């Protein structure tokens, strides 16, 4: 043991830190200079990744805003220097979305401030932000991004919302964030129109709705002048939100039966959705997208994207909270897996796919790259754009494949009727001691799986407790209105999170999973296989815990309460953070046991 004026240095921990592919910094950097947005990739015939980025020398909306292209020949590990598709000294060029054709031609569509307008009227004055107005234009490359064609314009039919804009529709206000979707031999580009603007600090776009551009001949056209376009839906009204005046950043996917499914953000804290059965001409009444369980999918005013992954499978990017502002509500990122059922998409319970250690860091404007059976996500924090390979095990769980790992990491078990008490056990610390008083993040976690049939739901009752005299350890207690409160402590700092109301009902068998995820430092409650999301009462169903929590290893064994009433039927402690889907499998096992 080494002792100096900081006190004794404890021996190093033997555990190794766990590599977490979800950690933001573990991705590969695409671009990290100035402003970088919408890093969208197409894979060329040679296997090269061609990425287009909306960039500027300063910040979003700067007059130097332009479109650049970079390429990678090692699947995103390294990237070439940028090539300007539009120069920095031209009018603003923004929000590029790429398309690759069967012949290998790469089109890039974007918003172009053709008239070089320098300000737009708002509800309280004017704004110098001029990057969501002008024409939709495109350039194309036939040599994998080495050179680009002249600029071509795509006609956009005016809607009622255009006629109400500050220029009466003579100038259109719009932008696109969703990559073009190929459905059969047709291409669909989803975009958003703006009617009125607020001051930027108040949200900028005041009224908005979605539209699509459809081309039935672009995939095989050699002469861009012959490409035809339709602006959809039919009529003068676009895709609106179920509630409120904001419906924007639409992303469309095609289903196997030829239907279209569109998701988009709102200002009400939920993902909006609509479907078309006739190629985009008419659409179902807008509704909040739901999980297969029927719960609406929460999302702040942030991009939410759906992607087709083949064989009737899809993925949905969102942020799983119902804050209604832009803010710092985009960390972590969640994915839901979608399976087509009867012409619609059934969305799975979600999993965390990306996070940053700093909760103030936000990730958005992603792309899904599919190459040789593997999947990557790109994203940006507006200054740094990265690419991340998605863990194949995560994808398998999202698409409903049973976990082969459910027996792994078990450190303690209890079954009602056990006469032997549960002895003290060790969980991997959140912080690992290293030489010279250094601390390494372990990226560790643990999970409690509990079969409950609570008879007495009085608040303050303890269900499970392994805390010692110093307070170190964890406990599950009953809180008010049928909630459960989970508490953990390292003896100097206590962290807790409370479940949603009516988690437990007297005499009702319930499976509760408490997942303590030491990567993003988040506590989850999964009840009867459903991840809690806060319901109507709070924007979050998950809570953060301190990044200075060291470990919760107790000298005391595990006490199980309510023995006389058989309230705890079974308890398992895992020395790892189970995926939500894995807890769902445990819940299904518990349901079958109760049914016998």
> What is the structure's pLDDT at 435?
79
Query: How deeply is 66 buried, as exposed, middle or buried, from its count of CB atoms within 10 A (0-12, 13-18, 19+)?
Result: buried
User: Is residue 437 located within the same domain as residue 380?
Assistant: no
* 506 inside domain: yes
Question: pLDDT grade, residue 313 (50/70/90)?
Answer: very high
For 111, 178, 338, 490, the CA distances from 212, given in Å and listed in that order, are 14, 11, 23, 54
> Per the domain annotation, does 211 fall within a domain?
yes
| Phi, psi dihedrals of residue 10, rounded to the nearest 5° | -75, 155
In Å, what is the CA distance from 96 to each residue of 136, 469, 577?
10, 60, 38
**Gap between the Cα atoms of 322 and 359, Å rounded:** 16
Q: Please say whether the beta carbons of 431 and 10 come within 8 A.
A: no
10, part of any domain: no
Query: 174 by DSSP, 3-state: which?
Result: strand
* Cβ contact 273:305 at 8 Å: no
What are the contacts of 163-168 at 24+ separation with CB within 8 A? 164/195, 164/196, 164/207, 165/194, 165/195, 165/196, 166/120, 166/121, 166/196, 166/197
> How much is the average pLDDT of 458-470?
97
pLDDT band at 3 (very low <50, low <70, confident <90, very high): very low
pLDDT at 480 > cutoff 80: yes
Shared domain for 377 and 461, answered yes or no, is: no
366 within a domain of the structure (yes/no):
yes
Same domain, 102 and 231: yes
> Which stretch of DSSP H or E encloses residue 288?
strand 287-288
Q: Are residues 48 and 29 in the same domain?
A: yes
More confident residue, 247 or 15: 247
* pLDDT surpassing 90 at residue 154: yes
Contact 503, 485 (CB under 8 A): no
pLDDT at 2: 36
pLDDT in tens, 178-234: 999 999 999 999 999 999 988 777 778 899 999 999 999 999 999 999 999 999 999
The domain total for the chain is 2
Q: Is residue 18 part of a domain?
A: no
Distance CA 576, CA 448 (A): 10
Q: Are residues 371 and 481 in the same domain?
A: no
The answer, as to whether pTM is greater than 0.75, is: yes
pLDDT at 514 over 80: yes
How far apart are the C-alpha atoms of 440 and 384, rounded to whole Å? 24
pLDDT digits (tens, 9 = 90+) for 218-253: 999 999 999 999 999 999 999 999 999 999 999 999
Q: Return the percentage of the chain with pLDDT > 70, whole number.
A: 98
| Residues 363 and 486 placed together within one structural domain of the fold | no
Give the pLDDT score at 9: 63
- Give the integer Cα–Cα distance in Å for 19 and 5: 34
Calculate the average pLDDT of the chain: 95
Model confidence pLDDT, tens digit, residues 343-391: 899 999 999 999 999 999 999 999 999 999 999 999 999 999 999 999 9
**Judgement on whether residues 180 and 288 belong to the same structural domain of the protein:** yes
- In sequence order, the β-bridge partners of residue 434 are 438
Among 373, 399, 425, identify where a domain stops: 399
pLDDT over 90 for what percent of the chain?
A: 90
Looking at the predicted structure, is the pLDDT value of residue 125 above 70? yes
Domain boundary at 399, 419, 450, which? 399
Verify that 138 and 197 share a domain, yes or no: yes
Q: What is the pLDDT of residue 105?
A: 98
- Predicted confidence band at 30 (pLDDT cuts at 50, 70, 90)? very high
**Domain match, 278 and 304 both:** yes
Residue 2, domain member (yes or no): no
Identify the CATH number of the domain in which residue 487 sits. Answer: 2.60.120.200
Q: Read off the pLDDT of residues 57-79 as tens digits, 9 standing for 90 and up.
A: 999 999 999 999 999 999 999 99
DSSP, residue by residue, 191-252: EEEEEEE--GGGTSEEEEEEEEEEESSGGG-SSGGG---EEESSSS--B--SSSS-EEEEEE
Say if residue 286's pLDDT is above 70. Answer: yes
Q: Cα 549 to the chain's mean position, in Å?
A: 26
User: Residue 48: CA atoms inside 13 Å, Cβ hemisphere, count?
Assistant: 17
Question: β-pairing, 351-354 with 374-380?
Answer: unpaired
Same-domain pairing of 325 and 443: no
Residue with tokens 């939920």: 270
399, 430, 463 - which closes a domain: 399
The whole-number average pLDDT for the span 30-39 is: 97
Whether 288 is covered by a domain: the verdict is yes
State which of 9-18, 402-411, 426-435 shows the largest mean pLDDT. Answer: 402-411
Q: How far apart are CA 111 and CA 400, in angstroms?
A: 39
Q: What DSSP character marks residue 345? A: E
Q: Does 462 lie in the same domain as 348?
A: no
pLDDT at residue number 565: 87
Better-scored residue on pLDDT, 552 or 16: 552
> CB under 8 Å, gap of 24 or more: what pairs does 412-420 form?
412/558, 412/571, 412/572, 412/573, 413/570, 413/571, 413/572, 413/573, 414/558, 414/560, 414/568, 414/570, 414/571, 414/572, 415/569, 415/570, 416/563, 416/566, 416/568, 416/569, 416/570
Is residue 469 predicted with pLDDT exceeding 90? yes
- Indicate the SS3 state at residue 433: strand
Q: Are residues 286 and 426 in the same domain?
A: no
Query: Does 111 score more than 60 pLDDT?
Result: yes
CATH of the domain at 306: 2.120.10.10
388/21 Cα distance (integer angstroms): 8
> Which residues, in sequence order, are CB contacts of 9 under 8 Å at separation 6+?
1, 2, 3, 436, 437
Q: Is the pLDDT of residue 575 over 90?
A: yes
- Whether 114 shows a pLDDT value over 80: the answer reads yes
Band of pLDDT at residue 6, cut at 50, 70 and 90: low
Residue 417 belongs to domain spanning = 410-595
Q: Give domain status of residue 15, yes or no.
A: no
């Amino acid at each position: 043991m080494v002792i100096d004026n900081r006190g004794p240095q404890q021996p190093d921990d033997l555990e190794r830190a766990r590599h977490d592919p979800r950690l933001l910094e573990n991705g590969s950097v695409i671009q990290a200079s100035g402003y970088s947005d919408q890093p969208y990739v197409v894979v060329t015939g040679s296997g090269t990744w061609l990425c287009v980025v909306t960039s500027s020398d300063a910040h979003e909306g700067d007059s130097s805003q332009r479109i650049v292209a970079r390429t990678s020949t090692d699947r995103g590990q390294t990237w070439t220097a940028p090539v300007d598709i539009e120069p920095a000294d031209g009018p603003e060029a923004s929000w590029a979305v790429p398309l690759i054709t069967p012949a290998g031609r790469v089109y890039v569509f974007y918003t172009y401030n053709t008239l070089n307008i320098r300000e737009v009227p708002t509800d309280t004055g004017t704004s110098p932000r001029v990057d969501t107005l002008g024409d939709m234009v495109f350039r194309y490359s036939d040599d994998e991004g080495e050179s680009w064609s002249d600029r071509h314009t795509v006609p956009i039919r005016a809607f009622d919302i255009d006629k109400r804009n500050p220029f009466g529709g003579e100038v259109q206000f719009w932008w696109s964030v969703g990559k073009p979707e190929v459905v059969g031999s047709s291409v669909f580009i989803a975009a958003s129109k703006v009617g009125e603007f607020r001051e930027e600090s108040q949200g900028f776009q005041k009224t908005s709705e979605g539209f699509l551009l459809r081309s039935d001949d672009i995939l095989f056209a050699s002469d861009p002048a012959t490409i035809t376009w339709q602006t959809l839906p039919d009529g003068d009204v676009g895709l609106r939100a179920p509630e409120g005046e904001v419906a924007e950043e639409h992303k469309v996917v095609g289903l196997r039966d030829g239907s279209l499914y569109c998701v988009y953000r709102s200002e009400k804290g939920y993902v909006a959705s609509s479907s078309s059965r006739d190629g985009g001409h008419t659409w179902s009444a807008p509704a909040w997208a739901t999980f297969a369980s029927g719960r609406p999918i929460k999302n702040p005013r942030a991009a939410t994207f759906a992607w087709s992954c083949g064989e009737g499978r899809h993925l949905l990017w969102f942020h799983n909270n119902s804050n209604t502002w832009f803010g710092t509500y985009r960390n972590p990122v969640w994915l839901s897996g979608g399976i087509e059922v009867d012409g619609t998409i059934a969305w799975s319970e979600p999993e965390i796919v990306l996070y940053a250690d700093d909760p103030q860091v936000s990730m958005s404007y992603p792309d899904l790259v599919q190459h040789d059976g593997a999947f990557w996500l790109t994203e940006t924090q507006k200054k740094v754009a990265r690419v991340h390979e998605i863990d194949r095990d995560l994808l398998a769980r999202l698409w409903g494949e049973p976990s082969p790992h459910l027996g792994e990491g078990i450190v303690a078990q209890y079954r009602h009727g056990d006469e032997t008490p549960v002895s003290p056990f060790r969980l991997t610390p959140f912080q690992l001691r290293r030489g010279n008083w250094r601390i390494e993040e372990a990226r560790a976690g643990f999970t409690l799986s509990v079969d409950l049939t609570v008879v007495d739901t009085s608040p303050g009752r303890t269900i499970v407790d392994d805390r010692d005299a110093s307070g170190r350890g964890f406990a599950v207690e009953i809180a008010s209105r049928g909630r459960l409160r989970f508490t953990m402590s390292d003896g100097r700092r206590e962290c807790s999170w409370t479940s949603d109301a009516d988690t437990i009902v007297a005499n009702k068998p319930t499976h509760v999973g408490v997942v303590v995820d030491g990567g993003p430092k988040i506590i989850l409650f999964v009840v009867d296989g459903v991840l809690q999301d806060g319901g109507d009462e709070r924007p979050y169903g998950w809570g953060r815990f301190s990044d200075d929590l060291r470990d919760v290893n107790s000298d005391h064994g595990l006490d199980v309460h309510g023995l006389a009433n058989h309230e705890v039927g079974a308890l398992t402690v895992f020395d790892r953070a189970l995926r939500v889907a894995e807890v769902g499998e445990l819940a299904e096992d518990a349901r079958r046991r109760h049914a016998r």
